[in-house]
Structure 1
Amino acid sequence: MADSRRADARRNHTRILAVAEAEVATRGAAASLEQIARTAGVGSATVRRHFPTRRALLEAVSRRRIEALCARARDLAERGDSREALLEWLGEVVGYCVTAAGLATALSYDAAGADPAHGNACSAALEEAAEPLLERAARDGAVTEGVTVEDLITLSVGIALATEHHRDPAARADELFRLTVAGLSPERARRGSQGPLKA
């Protein structure tokens, strides 16, 4: 009987997650847990047993993208110019946040929306994976002292959320990302990638 219950729970989890992925792709972070339950053919309580908070649901839906960004950070950590490697990774984080519905919200450091027992698992995974990438850039003097991966994720999320209703979110987010990297100083903008990364 216990095995049967576990098998049912696994099937429910798989079905709920598949429905949630479709719902988040359509409605983003505003996806309705009740609608997910109805479409999956289960009760709201069942959805909440598997995903007790909206953040937990968004993290589950975003897991594959987070894993890809973590793998990319590890891949870039020892490759080429440290500053360019960090900027390449950050550009990909911004791009993912813009194009993957719900990801920016899953990565945001909103204490009210986080699971108090586990914090923000998505951001924690990215922080761990990207730390060597940032440390190498810092050793090379390419990053302002005191900048953290949390700062960079917050910046990326902010750009994505600020542009999500723009007529061309990806292009606008890229413009703002480049502006952020260049800074407001005309001299620094002319130097382009030569100056330190300011976050």
Structure 2
Amino acid sequence: MSTIILAHAVETGPESLWYPYLRTALDGRAEVRIPALPAPGAPDPEAWLTALTAAARDTDPADTVLVGHSLGGVTLLRLLERHDTDRHGPYAGAVLVATPYKEVGYEALNPFFAPRFDWARIRRAARAFQVLVAADDPVLTPDPFDHARHYVTELGATATVRAAGGHFPIWSPDDVPTGLAFPEVTPLVTGLLPAAS
């Protein structure tokens, strides 16, 4: 069975937002792992990368799709950047949901973007990339389209841009909603599974 590994956003956890929906939607088709990344309210880049790497350690990259939401997507990019593609082969694919490619005005999160990404190395580490953004995303400043275009240019990603959707979704750290349906993400993930190719 294929494996899906989801890296959640800041101020969230495995049971937040649309993450349980994705697990349910893929039940029987893939094992969905959503590791609890440490200190989600005050994230540390190395701690998050260590936790995500541990979740992926025993998987077959060729049969694994990585999904990252917001800062989780940034951590996913770091995992791909460090992946030994020559030794282990590329991952089946990666889905980046509302993922910034550079700093977006949150000083505490700037360490996640340093040093600059090695885009060529990341591109080799996965067979295909999907990007999902919303035109009204208040986090992907100054222009959500710029973030999507960057992934298309650097990673050869296929971009899906919704007119509305915010940061999938917009949430407050004091009131993180759970159990949200998010059907748009499921076909992006299943389309990258080896059985779908």
TM-score normalised by the chain length of structure 1:
0.29
Q: Of Structure 1 and Structure 2, which has the larger fraction of its residues in strand?
A: 2
Higher relative contact order (CA 8 A, sep 6+): 2
